[in-house]
Chain A
Amino acid sequence: MKTNKSKKTRMVRFVVFVLLVSATSTFAYPPDNAAVLYYKAFMLYESPDNLGTMLWDYWKGKIESNEKIEECLKKNRRIIDMVLDASRIDHCDWGLDYSRGTEVLLPPHHKARDIFALLAAEARMQADKGDYKKALGCCISICRMARHLNERPIISYLVGIAINAANNQCITLFLSEMPLNTEILTWLRGELTELDKQPFSIEPVLDWKRQAGIISMSLEKISDAVQSGLDDGPTKKKILERISTANQQFFAKNITYWNNYMDSLEAAFELPYPQGYAKLKKLDEELSKEFKTNTDATLTIVFGPAWQRIYTLSVRLNTHSNALKVAIEIYLIKAKTDKLPDTLPAGLPGDLFSGKDFNYEKTTDGFVLHCRGKDLDKDEIYEYEFKVKK
């Protein structure tokens, strides 16, 4: 009798436990996949037509806040909160079908730019209220969102680059305006160091590109890839002609050529910028030349995007991020000693265009970090200006 009672009690406890666990998992918010929230936000947010570039001008500090901006932020509060929640989730899976090779369907990442403008405007609003920690916190969330966007396809990486670059500009502006505050600066340094544990990297992109190319180099998939990937013209015509008479050996040889090409490409990305850029240029020229006579190079030309440009964008973003880290150290010195250092402290990250330290210059209202190497794609030398609030 006693045993039966204890059995029943155990059964009831078990049922209650199962119910509690299932209820928790059914109604859990936020979900364990950030992409779910991003998809929702992208779907629901529509940049108001009557705002034009107002949100962009506002976060850049070009215009003051107004009723339209305030209304936009108010009406989209739930979207802002949703994206901030998403950025705090570690796991982000966009649910892409990579077995489709280069024909994989991408998420509506163009909405990410609009969402960025909304978050940056929210950050600016916080800065205007004097809450710079909250404003910079918003920027850190944007950094995390950009990392979430960077799944394997190149386009996702490029969207992430565009958002990170604008976000770096946003952080630079806030640092230049805010009163020196050791606590906020130390916190910001810590957040950026934490982000570096999951670096915004091109490596998964290159890995995926290699695999996607191989998947698409098959008799069943290649026609769609050529039609989608190339503009009409003599090159496309020639490729289609070669494919029309292709056999298994043709595809096998093209895959070998592609693998060798990707090996060289990955090696180029590892080199210092000037050498890497020169190697990518050479690879591009060799491919164009070989395509004319070597049928093994036929399909590589279909899948090779503008690598030099992508490489330069990647170096440019990382250089700007390095400049921010250096600037935070300089601001911290100023906050602690009340004066700017005469030279750069040792051991700080540098200008990736030259592989050297930034050229540091004190100005009347702050300091400038000059790159020593040139962006070879745009033939331009960058400099990053930081002001110090007096």
Chain B
Amino acid sequence: MDELISRTINTERPQFDTEKWKQKYPEEYQTLLSRASKGDSNRKPKILKAILKSPLTKISAAAVIILAVTFLSTHRDPGNQEQPRIVEVAKYPVEMMTAISLERAFRRGGIEAVEEQCKQAFKPIAPRLESSSIKQILAEFNGNGKISGRTRP
């Protein structure tokens, strides 16, 4: 168990377990062997093992992943990089109702955008019931009915 945790949270230098990999992916292993057999049949598995164990391979793989993520995040939609966001990230009503925040809304879309932001800030928590019957109200008092007040969606 300790060994498993240790591997999972990666407290030590990572090690590639070739034997387990062979057991888990027999088909892939056979494919690699068959490719290797076309060349030097004795040397190929050793080379593969050496390559996979090499720290340079691990560093290269990590570098490729980092570069890919960076590229995707910065170049996914270059045309929109400079555009101001139209849709606000969810905020607390207190943040949405400050003078400077509403001025920002005005710059973005005039008085209509200000109004929309205020409406969002004061949005009711949930729809209210149209009306309650006496039976429903009594049931609520007795703890048997649905609560007719506002509830979170």
Q: How far is the CB of B95 from chain A (nearest CB, A)?
A: 6
**Contacting pair B84 A159 (CB below 8 A):** no
**Contacting pair A225 B100 (CB below 8 A):** yes
Taken together as a complex, chains A and B put the C-alpha atoms of A232 and B107 apart, in Å, by 14
**Contacting pair A228 B85 (CB below 8 A):** no
Taken together as a complex, chains A and B put the C-alpha atoms of A103 and B103 apart, in Å, by 11
**Contacting pair A159 B111 (CB below 8 A):** yes
Taken together as a complex, chains A and B put the C-alpha atoms of A225 and B85 apart, in Å, by 17
Taken together as a complex, chains A and B put the C-alpha atoms of A228 and B119 apart, in Å, by 17
Interface residues of A in 191-233 (CB under 8 A from B): 212, 216, 225, 228-233
Which residues of chain A are near B111, meaning CB under 8 Å? 158-159, 161-162
Any A CB within 8 A of the CB of B118: yes
Taken together as a complex, chains A and B put the C-alpha atoms of A5 and B99 apart, in Å, by 63
Taken together as a complex, chains A and B put the C-alpha atoms of A255 and B122 apart, in Å, by 34
Q: How far is the CB of A375 from chain B (nearest CB, A)?
A: 14
Question: What sequence of 0s and 1s flags, for each residue 26-65 of chain B, a beta carbon within 8 Å of any chain A beta carbon?
Answer: 0000000000000000000000000000000000000000
Any A CB within 8 A of the CB of B108: yes
Taken together as a complex, chains A and B put the C-alpha atoms of A216 and B122 apart, in Å, by 26
Report if A233-B82 is in contact (Cβ < 8 Å); known contacts: A113-B115, A158-B114: yes
Interface residues of A in 263-318 (CB under 8 A from B): 303, 305-306, 309
Any B CB within 8 A of the CB of A51: no
**Contacting pair B118 A110 (CB below 8 A):** yes
Which of B85, B115, B121 has the most chain A CB atoms closer than 10 A to its own CB? B115
**Contacting pair A106 B85 (CB below 8 A):** no
**Contacting pair B84 A108 (CB below 8 A):** no
Report if A231-B85 is in contact (Cβ < 8 Å); known contacts: A158-B106, A158-B111: yes
Any B CB within 8 A of the CB of A155: yes
Please give me the residue from chain B that is nearest to A153 by CB atom: B99
Q: How far is the CB of B100 from chain A (nearest CB, A)?
A: 4
Which residues of chain A are near B148, meaning CB under 8 Å? none
Taken together as a complex, chains A and B put the C-alpha atoms of A30 and B15 apart, in Å, by 80
Taken together as a complex, chains A and B put the C-alpha atoms of A159 and B146 apart, in Å, by 40
Interface residues of A in 106-127 (CB under 8 A from B): 106, 108-111, 113
Please give me the residue from chain A that is nearest to B110 by CB atom: A309
Taken together as a complex, chains A and B put the C-alpha atoms of A100 and B103 apart, in Å, by 15
**Contacting pair A103 B99 (CB below 8 A):** yes
Q: Name the contact of B100 in the complex, choosing from A113, A158, A229, A309 (C-beta under 8 A).
A: A229
Please give me the residue from chain B that is nearest to A158 by CB atom: B111
**Contacting pair B94 A105 (CB below 8 A):** yes
Please give me the residue from chain B that is nearest to A231 by CB atom: B84
Taken together as a complex, chains A and B put the C-alpha atoms of A231 and B106 apart, in Å, by 12
**Contacting pair B84 A154 (CB below 8 A):** no
**Contacting pair B99 A104 (CB below 8 A):** yes
Q: How far is the CB of A378 from chain B (nearest CB, A)?
A: 12
Question: What sequence of 0s and 1s flags, for each residue 83-106 of chain B, a beta carbon within 8 Å of any chain A beta carbon?
Answer: 111000000001101111111101
Q: How far is the CB of A32 from chain B (nearest CB, A)?
A: 26
Which residues of chain B are near A305, meaning CB under 8 Å? 103, 106-107
Which residues of chain B are near A110, meaning CB under 8 Å? 114-115, 118-119, 122
**Contacting pair A231 B108 (CB below 8 A):** yes
> B interface vs A, CB < 8 Å?
82-85, 94-95, 97-104, 106-108, 110-111, 114-115, 118-119, 121-122
7 A–B contacts from the bound complex (CB under 8 Å): A108-B97, A154-B99, A159-B114, A230-B104, A231-B104, A232-B85, A303-B100
6 shortest interchain CB distances as A-B pairs: A231-B84, A110-B118, A102-B100, A229-B100, A228-B101, A110-B115
